[in-house]
Amino acid sequence: MESQQNNSQFKVVGRPVRLRDGLEKVAGRAQYAANVPRPGILHCRLLLSPYAHARISALDTGAAEALTGVVRVVTAADLPPLPPTSRHRLLLARDQTLFVGHPVAAVLAESEATAEDALDLIEVEYEILPAVTTIEQALAPGAPLVWPEGPPGGAEEAAAHGADVGDEETSATPSNISHTAHLSRGDVAAAFAEIERAGGAIIQRTYHTPVVHQSYLEPHATVAEVDRLAGTVTLWTSTQAQFYVREEVADVLGLADSDVRVIPTVVGGGFGGKFILTEPLVALLAELGGRPVKLVLTRMDEFLNANPAPQGRIEVKAAAMPDGTLHAIQARLLFDAGLYPGTPGGIGGFLLAGYYKCPNLEIEALEVFTHKLSTGAYRAPGAPQATWAIESTVDDLAHALGVDPLTFRLKNVVDAGDENPRGKEWPEIGLRRCLETLAAHPAWEAARAEREPNVGWGLAIGGWMGGLEPASAVCMLNRDGTLSVKVGAVDLTGTNTTLALIAAEVFGLAPERVKVYTVDTEQGPYAGATGGSKITYTVGGAVLAAARAAHRQLLDVAAEQLEAAPEDLEVLDGFVGVRGAPDSRRSLAEIAASTMQFGGRYPPIFASASEANTTQAPAFGAHLARVRVDPETGAVTVLRYVAVQDVGRALNPAAVRGQIQGGVTQGLGWALREQMIFDEDGQLLTASLMDYALPKVADIPPQGIETVLVEVPSPEGPFGARPVGEPPVIPVAGAVANAVRAATGVRATALPISAQGLWAQLHAAT
Amino acid sequence: MESQQNNSQFKVVGRPVRLRDGLEKVAGRAQYAANVPRPGILHCRLLLSPYAHARISALDTGAAEALTGVVRVVTAADLPPLPPTSRHRLLLARDQTLFVGHPVAAVLAESEATAEDALDLIEVEYEILPAVTTIEQALAPGAPLVWPEGPPGGAEEAAAHGADVGDEETSATPSNISHTAHLSRGDVAAAFAEIERAGGAIIQRTYHTPVVHQSYLEPHATVAEVDRLAGTVTLWTSTQAQFYVREEVADVLGLADSDVRVIPTVVGGGFGGKFILTEPLVALLAELGGRPVKLVLTRMDEFLNANPAPQGRIEVKAAAMPDGTLHAIQARLLFDAGLYPGTPGGIGGFLLAGYYKCPNLEIEALEVFTHKLSTGAYRAPGAPQATWAIESTVDDLAHALGVDPLTFRLKNVVDAGDENPRGKEWPEIGLRRCLETLAAHPAWEAARAEREPNVGWGLAIGGWMGGLEPASAVCMLNRDGTLSVKVGAVDLTGTNTTLALIAAEVFGLAPERVKVYTVDTEQGPYAGATGGSKITYTVGGAVLAAARAAHRQLLDVAAEQLEAAPEDLEVLDGFVGVRGAPDSRRSLAEIAASTMQFGGRYPPIFASASEANTTQAPAFGAHLARVRVDPETGAVTVLRYVAVQDVGRALNPAAVRGQIQGGVTQGLGWALREQMIFDEDGQLLTASLMDYALPKVADIPPQGIETVLVEVPSPEGPFGARPVGEPPVIPVAGAVANAVRAATGVRATALPISAQGLWAQLHAAT
Is the Cβ pair A476, B159 closer than 8 Å? Answer: no
Q: What is the mean pLDDT of residues A157-162?
A: 44
Is the Cβ pair B598, A484 closer than 8 Å? Answer: no
Is the Cβ pair B603, A610 closer than 8 Å? Answer: yes
The per-residue pLDDT for B598 is: 94
Strands A706-710, A636-646: pairing is parallel
Complex ipTM = 0.93
Q: Is B40 on the interface with A (CB under 8 A)?
A: no
Q: What is the mean pLDDT of residues B455-465?
A: 98
Which residues of A fall within a CB distance of 8 Å from B479? Answer: 243, 247, 257
* CB burial of residue B40 (10 Å; 0-12, 13-18, 19+): exposed
Is the Cβ pair B602, A470 closer than 8 Å? Answer: yes
The DSSP secondary structure of B256-322, one letter per residue, reads: -GGGEEEEE---S--TTS-SSSSHHHHHHHHHHHSS-EEEE--HHHHHHHS--BPEEEEEEEEEE-T
A350 and A165 Cβ atoms separated by less than 8 Å = yes
Query: What is the band of A1 on the pLDDT scale with cuts at 50, 70, 90?
Result: very low
The per-residue pLDDT for A168 is: 58
Is the Cβ pair A528, B598 closer than 8 Å? Answer: yes
Nearest to A469 among B23, B467, B598 (CB): B598
Is the Cβ pair B612, A595 closer than 8 Å? Answer: yes
B470 and A604 Cβ atoms separated by less than 8 Å = yes
Q: What is the mean pLDDT of residues B32-51?
A: 96
A320 and A395 Cβ atoms separated by less than 8 Å = no
Which chain A residue is nearest to residue B29, measuring alpha carbons? Answer: A229
**For residue range B138-194, what is the model confidence (pLDDT) as tens digits?**
999 999 999 998 877 644 444 444 444 455 566 567 899 988 899 999 999 999 999
Compute the count of residue pairs across chains A and B with CB atoms less than 8 Å apart: 180
pLDDT higher for A68 or B29? Answer: A68
The DSSP secondary structure of A187-228, one letter per residue, reads: -HHHHHHHHHHH--EEEEEEEEE-BB----SSPPEEEEEEET
Residue among B641, B729, B701 at smallest CA distance from B446: B641
Nearest to A478 among B159, B258, B605 (CB): B258
Look over chain B and give the mean of its residue pLDDT values, rounded to a whole number. Answer: 95
Is the Cβ pair B604, A525 closer than 8 Å? Answer: yes
**For residue range B411-457, what is the model confidence (pLDDT) as tens digits?**
999 999 999 999 999 999 999 999 999 999 999 999 999 999 999 99
The per-residue pLDDT for A601 is: 97
Statement: residue B50 has pLDDT above 70: yes
| Cβ atoms within 10 Å, residue B199 | 9
pLDDT higher for B161 or A131? Answer: A131
pTM: 0.94
CA distance B200 to B191: 11
A408 and A460 Cβ atoms separated by less than 8 Å = no
Q: What is the mean pLDDT of residues A650-670?
A: 98
Spatial strand order in the sheet of A311-320: A167-170, A177-185, A360-369, A326-338, A311-320, A201-209
CA distance A23 to A35: 18
Q: Is B426 on the interface with A (CB under 8 A)?
A: no
**For residue range B467-511, what is the model confidence (pLDDT) as tens digits?**
999 999 999 999 999 999 999 999 999 999 999 999 999 999 999
Q: Which of B474, B526, B535, B543 is most worth mutating to test chain A (most A CB atoms within 10 A of its CB)?
A: B526
Q: How far is CA B506 from CA A220, B499, B501, B576, in A?
A: 42, 11, 9, 13
Query: What is the band of B523 on the pLDDT scale with cuts at 50, 70, 90?
Result: confident
Q: CA geometry: angle at A697 spanning A693 and A699, to 5°?
A: 65
Beta bridge partners of B179: B170
**For residue range A446-487, what is the model confidence (pLDDT) as tens digits?**
999 999 999 999 999 999 999 999 999 999 999 999 999 999
Distance from the A633 Cα atom to the nearest Cα atom in chain B, whole angstroms:
47
The per-residue pLDDT for A3 is: 40
Statement: residue A229 has pLDDT above 90: no
Q: How far is CA A479 from CA A504, B213, B542, in A?
A: 16, 32, 19
Strands (E) located in B465-556: 471-477, 483-487, 514-518
Radius of gyration of chain B (CA): 27
Show which residues of A are catalytic. 726
Which residues of B fall within a CB distance of 8 Å from A40? Answer: none
**For residue range B197-213, what is the model confidence (pLDDT) as tens digits?**
999 999 999 999 999 99
Which residues of B fall within a CB distance of 8 Å from A601? Answer: 470, 612, 614
The per-residue pLDDT for B260 is: 98
Assign B179 to helix, strand or coil: strand
CA distance A447 to A458: 9
Strands B569-572, B514-518: pairing is unpaired
Residue among A570, A565, A589 at smallest CA distance from A580: A570
Interface of A with B in 597-616 (CB under 8 A): 597-608, 610-612, 614
- CA B407, B413, B418, B422: dihedral to nearest 10 degrees? 150
Query: What is the band of A162 on the pLDDT scale with cuts at 50, 70, 90?
Result: very low
Is the Cβ pair B29, A230 closer than 8 Å? Answer: yes
Is the Cβ pair A256, B532 closer than 8 Å? Answer: no
Nearest to A257 among B478, B605, B611 (CB): B478
Residue among A710, A554, A555 at smallest CA distance from A621: A710
**For residue range A321-339, what is the model confidence (pLDDT) as tens digits?**
999 999 999 999 999 999 9
Q: Is B470 on the interface with A (CB under 8 A)?
A: yes
Distance from the A749 Cα atom to the nearest Cα atom in chain B, whole angstroms:
35
CA distance B359 to B753: 32
B303 and B684 Cβ atoms separated by less than 8 Å = yes
Is the Cβ pair B482, A256 closer than 8 Å? Answer: yes
The residues, any chain, with a CB within 8 Å of residue B593's CB and separated by 6 or more, are B479
Q: Is A262 on the interface with B (CB under 8 A)?
A: no
Strands B177-185, B167-170: pairing is antiparallel
The DSSP secondary structure of A498-509, one letter per residue, reads: HHHHHHHHHHT-
Statement: residue A243 has pLDDT above 70: yes
A260 and A8 Cβ atoms separated by less than 8 Å = no
A650 and A709 Cβ atoms separated by less than 8 Å = yes
B59 and B75 Cβ atoms separated by less than 8 Å = yes
What percentage of residues in chain A have a pLDDT greater than 70?
96
Which residues of A fall within a CB distance of 8 Å from B162? Answer: 598
Which residues of B fall within a CB distance of 8 Å from A232? Answer: none
Residue type, A188: V
Which residues of A fall within a CB distance of 8 Å from B35? Answer: none
B664 and B641 Cβ atoms separated by less than 8 Å = yes
The per-residue pLDDT for B170 is: 61
Statement: residue B235 has pLDDT above 70: yes
CA distance A430 to A618: 9
The DSSP secondary structure of A464-487, one letter per residue, reads: E------EEEEEEE-TTS-EEEEE
Q: Which of B246, B610, B613, B716 is most worth mutating to test chain A (most A CB atoms within 10 A of its CB)?
A: B610
Statement: residue A6 has pLDDT above 60: no
The per-residue pLDDT for A151 is: 77
Beta bridge partners of B341: none
Assign B18 to helix, strand or coil: coil
DSSP 8-state class, residue A567: G
Is the Cβ pair A604, B229 closer than 8 Å? Answer: no
Is the Cβ pair B257, A479 closer than 8 Å? Answer: yes
Active site residue B726: yes
| Cβ atoms within 10 Å, residue B164 | 18
The per-residue pLDDT for A170 is: 61
B714 and B648 Cβ atoms separated by less than 8 Å = yes
Q: Which of B606, B611, B615 is most worth mutating to test chain A (most A CB atoms within 10 A of its CB)?
A: B606
| Cβ atoms within 10 Å, residue A700 | 16
The residues, any chain, with a CB within 8 Å of residue A430's CB and separated by 6 or more, are A619, A620, A646, A648, A710, A711, A712, A722
The DSSP secondary structure of A237-299, one letter per residue, reads: E--S-HHHHHHHHHHHHT--GGGEEEEE---S--TTS-SSSSHHHHHHHHHHHSS-EEEE--H
Q: Which of A227, A240, A258 is most worth mutating to test chain B (most B CB atoms within 10 A of its CB)?
A: A258
A118 and A109 Cβ atoms separated by less than 8 Å = yes
A341 and A153 Cβ atoms separated by less than 8 Å = yes
Which chain A residue is nearest to residue B40, measuring alpha carbons? Answer: A37
Helices (H), B403-452: 405-412, 431-439, 442-449
Query: What is the band of B3 on the pLDDT scale with cuts at 50, 70, 90?
Result: very low
| Cβ atoms within 10 Å, residue A757 | 15
Is the Cβ pair A522, B517 closer than 8 Å? Answer: yes
A240 and A268 Cβ atoms separated by less than 8 Å = no
Strands A96-97, A123-128: pairing is unpaired
Q: Which of B598, B602, B611 is most worth mutating to test chain A (most A CB atoms within 10 A of its CB)?
A: B598
Is the Cβ pair B230, A596 closer than 8 Å? Answer: no
Distance from the A339 Cα atom to the nearest Cα atom in chain B, whole angstroms:
24
CA distance B120 to B115: 9
Look over chain A and give the mean of its residue pLDDT values, rounded to a whole number. Answer: 95
Query: What is the band of A178 on the pLDDT scale with cuts at 50, 70, 90?
Result: confident
Residue among A466, A500, A434 at smallest CA distance from A642: A434
Beta bridge partners of A645: A621, A709
CA distance B81 to B87: 15
**For residue range B299-343, what is the model confidence (pLDDT) as tens digits?**
999 999 999 999 999 999 999 999 999 999 999 999 999 999 999
